[in-house]
A and B are shown apart, each in its own frame.
Chain A
Amino acid sequence: MTVLKTEAFDNAAIAAPPRDWVLVGLWIALAMVAVLWVAPFVFIIFTSFKSTAAVMGSSAFAPPTNPQISNYVAAWSRGRFETTFTNSAIITVIKVPLGLFISAMAAYALARIEFSGRKMVLVLILFGTMIPFQVMLAPLFTLVNGFGLIDTYPGVILPYLAFGIPYQVFILQSFFRGVPKELTEAARIDGASHFVIFRRIFLPISLPVLAALCILDFVATWNEFAMALVLLQDQKMWTLPLGLSAFQGQFSRDYGQLNAAIVMTVLPAALVYLIFQRYFVSGLTSGAVKG
């Protein structure tokens, strides 16, 4: 271990000469662009603490002189955040674990059980990862309306599940295929059913992948707008993105409050990302690039 470490250290010392001006220039360029990249966030947060008079009177980059928490309070009640927040939370908390569970079951069967039609199901699933649901908003409305599920939680959760399943099944089945056969063969010989093997062996070992998918799916579900727009017409059922869009429509001249509403909508997903950053990247790339 120590030997390895010193070796890596020496390599680094050889590879990087004391001062590589190209790298210094590169770093400065990347840092400057990064400042541009965060500027919108700074602008939004600053504005969210300013009164309308301060927004009109001061420069956009001037920090708020006497921060107004009142924008948040007002936006919370005028934007009906209590309702939209609750709806988003309920939908996400049901959809994400349920979707992962049924996707994992299907992925296990596709990876580990030989049956006819397996390949066809796989192609159908892979296909689903790429078709845009934005194309089918109208028939989706017709379908959900036919079931009498417009403005209900199941009415939006079921389509969310349907459009989340392909990607998750695809990633999980390619992960499951990499699990050594020996691990399950012994259990099969002992007479364990596939259900038992799935629950006792595959679910525990795939926890890191499931965690990554869980976080990706949390953000996707939390942020979804187009389907919710069509399937949730009643204000009482609106999710956060719908609430924000309506808020902008009604109160776009209350700059401080509008920006407070943006911050409150974005914050949960941003926090989840910053806390679980590591999983994000692994979840995104495990499927796409390694393929």
Chain B
Amino acid sequence: MQITKLASDQRLQAALLIAPALIIYAVFAIYPMIDVVALSFQKWNGLDANRHFVGLSNYIDIFTKDPVFWVAFRNTITWTILSTIFPPLFGLLLALGLNQRLFARNSLRAIYYLPVIIAPIAVATMWRWMYDPFFGIFNQVLSLLGLQSWIKDWLGARDVALYSAFVAYVWQTVGFSMVLFLAGLQGVDKSLVEAARIDGADRWQRFRFVTLPALRPTITIVLVLSVISSLKAFDIIYGLTGGGPAQSTQMLALWAFTQSMQIFDFGRGSAISTVLLLITLAIVIPYMRWAQKREEAAE
């Protein structure tokens, strides 16, 4: 009797402790995610009382009648691939360098990390000014170096705008990868590195055969986080180019927003969101299973 009372009391206490967080999370994060899928099968302008079920027509529309969707799709993929290569690679190099006993290494780390904490919209505003065709820093430096022919309207030219935006993104995100790699490097057994050194392994061999294998879990985590955060790229594009010129920097997240909140076609916007959501899930779910297995192995 006493025990059952205690158990039910336990459950009640657990429920009370979890409820506030779980309710807010379910209502304002999980429900909208389900609703976005529901909306993608409906026609709605955001105002009417009724949402009409229209089956797959929103999907058919975005796939066949919306040329911008495919531009946004391609840009998102390009952006994601670039974001999975460059920020992690630079981050790893910086972490390896700043893991050495170097003069002022804490200050150097702080400098590289600083852009991470700046609002992406402020980064966009900063870089838009730096890319200013007339008075911006880039064109000024180029003309200073006598490279006038390289001068461009970095955000206004269709063929380079996406890459210009990506440079700003790299500047902002490299510090994040660096910090994760620095943490991962703390987990590399120093005595192993030392043993390899005594056995005559040079720097490259020590890195290749000792440090790199030990970093493998960190590398996976950094890559997955890079992919996920690149799919979310919204603020920086919104602030830098707004998707232009001529939709050449349009992305799925921004295009979904534009369709729903500016053109008031919630159905199409949600269909685009759902496509992005599916891409994200295709990466997140395998990763979660991997992480869970790893945790179970550790226990």
A and B held together in a complex? yes
Using a CB–CB cutoff of 8 Å, the interface residues on chain A facing chain B are 12, 15-16, 22-23, 26-27, 29-31, 33-34, 37-41, 43-44, 47, 55-56, 59-61, 102-103, 105-106, 108-110, 113-115, 121, 123-128, 130-143, 158-159, 161-163, 165-166, 169, 193-195, 198, 219, 222-223, 225-226, 229-230, 240-241, 244-245, 248, 252, 255, 258-259, 261-262, 265-266, 269-270, 272-274, 277, 280-281, 284-285, 288-291
B234–A194 touching, CB < 8 Å: no
B130–A138 touching, CB < 8 Å: no
Q: Which of B19-27, B62-70, B155-163 contacts A (4 or more CB under 8 A)?
A: B19-27
B228–A132 touching, CB < 8 Å: yes
Residues of B within 8 A of A40 (CB): 126-127, 130, 137, 171
B288–A266 touching, CB < 8 Å: no
A121–B22 touching, CB < 8 Å: yes
A277–B31 touching, CB < 8 Å: no
A-B contact pairs, 5 of them (CB 8 A): A33-B94, A139-B31, A143-B27, A163-B29, A284-B176
Residues of B within 8 A of A113 (CB): 10-11, 13-14, 17
A105–B102 touching, CB < 8 Å: no
What is the bound-complex CA distance between A47 and B128, given in angstroms?
Answer: 14
Residues of A within 8 A of B97 (CB): 26, 29-30
What is the bound-complex CA distance between A161 and B16, given in angstroms?
Answer: 18
A194–B14 touching, CB < 8 Å: yes
What is the bound-complex CA distance between A213 and B280, given in angstroms?
Answer: 25
Which B residues, 28 to 59, have Cβ-Cβ distances below 8 Å to chain A? 28-33, 35-36, 39, 46
Q: Which residue of B lies closest to A15 (CB)?
A: B194
**Given A30-B98, A266-B122: A138 in contact with B11 (beta carbons within 8 A):** no
A289–B221 touching, CB < 8 Å: yes
- 7 tightest A-B CB contacts, nearest first: A162-B28, A138-B260, A223-B119, A285-B183, A106-B21, A109-B17, A139-B35
Residues of A within 8 A of B201 (CB): none
Chain B contact surface mostly: helix
Residues of A within 8 A of B247 (CB): none
B102–A262 touching, CB < 8 Å: no
Min CB gap A267→B, angstroms: 10
A34–B111 touching, CB < 8 Å: yes
Q: Which residue of A lies closest to B11 (CB)?
A: A115
Min CB gap A179→B, angstroms: 16
Size bracket of the B interface: 35 or more
| A143, A219, A248, A270: the one within 8 Å of B32 (CB) | A143
| A12, A43, A136, A285: the one within 8 Å of B273 (CB) | A136
Question: Does B180 have its Cβ within 8 Å of any Cβ on chain A?
Answer: yes
What is the bound-complex CA distance between A133 and B28, given in angstroms?
Answer: 10
What is the bound-complex CA distance between A241 and B186, given in angstroms?
Answer: 36
What is the bound-complex CA distance between A55 and B134, given in angstroms?
Answer: 10
What is the bound-complex CA distance between A246 and B239, given in angstroms?
Answer: 10
What is the bound-complex CA distance between A31 and B101, given in angstroms?
Answer: 14
Which B residues, 247 to 299, have Cβ-Cβ distances below 8 Å to chain A? 253, 256-257, 260-261, 266, 269-270, 273-274, 276-277, 280, 284, 287-288, 291, 294-295
B14–A255 touching, CB < 8 Å: no
B119–A225 touching, CB < 8 Å: yes
Q: A37-B114, A132-B280, A241-B121 are in contact. List 11 more A-B contacts (CB 8 A).
A: A34-B111, A56-B134, A106-B21, A109-B18, A131-B277, A134-B257, A137-B273, A138-B36, A225-B234, A266-B119, A266-B122
What is the bound-complex CA distance between A138 and B35, given in angstroms?
Answer: 9
Min CB gap B7→A, angstroms: 9
B27–A162 touching, CB < 8 Å: yes
What is the bound-complex CA distance between A30 and B128, given in angstroms?
Answer: 26
Question: Does B246 have its Cβ within 8 Å of any Cβ on chain A?
Answer: no
| A127, A142, A198: the one within 8 Å of B35 (CB) | A142
Which B residues, 75 to 130, have Cβ-Cβ distances below 8 Å to chain A? 94, 97-98, 100-103, 108, 110-115, 117-122, 125-130
Residues of B within 8 A of A26 (CB): 97, 100, 102
A226–B21 touching, CB < 8 Å: no
Q: Which residue of A lies closest to B183 (CB)?
A: A285
| A37, A60, A136: the one within 8 Å of B33 (CB) | A136
What is the bound-complex CA distance between A121 and B260, given in angstroms?
Answer: 31
| B103, B253, B291: the one within 8 Å of A291 (CB) | B291
